[in-house]
Amino acid sequence: MSLEKKTLKIVSDFSFFESWEQKYEYLIELGKQNCSLNKDFKTDLNLVYGCQAKVWLVCKIKNGKLIYRETVTQLSQKAWWGYLLFFLATALLKRLLDLIILF
């Protein structure tokens, strides 16, 4: 799925709700659906510093694609991380490296 299609899906998901409270509750529910990392991965090496919640992030390369897994201590933050990883999940490693080289 392209980045544009992913963006449209997220906008569509949230446009269904009328209030910010409903959108926040939806984020909480999404957070509950995300799988957690095994406790063996909850190390300082995998901890993302500077976040409001504790976030552990692991990335692997499989068939030229980056595969992400995360655990987040706050459900609302877990959903936001889920969306971020939704964007990155199908990213080709070569494409990301090309973007990094531009900077």
Taken in order 16, 22, 27, 32, is the CA torsion positive or negative?
negative
DSSP secondary-structure letter at 45? G
Q: Which of 37, 46, 51, 75 is flagged as catalytic?
A: 51
Active site annotation includes 35: no
Name 79's Cβ contacts closer than 8 Å, sequence gap at least 6.
27, 28, 29, 30, 31, 34
Which of the residues are catalytic? 51
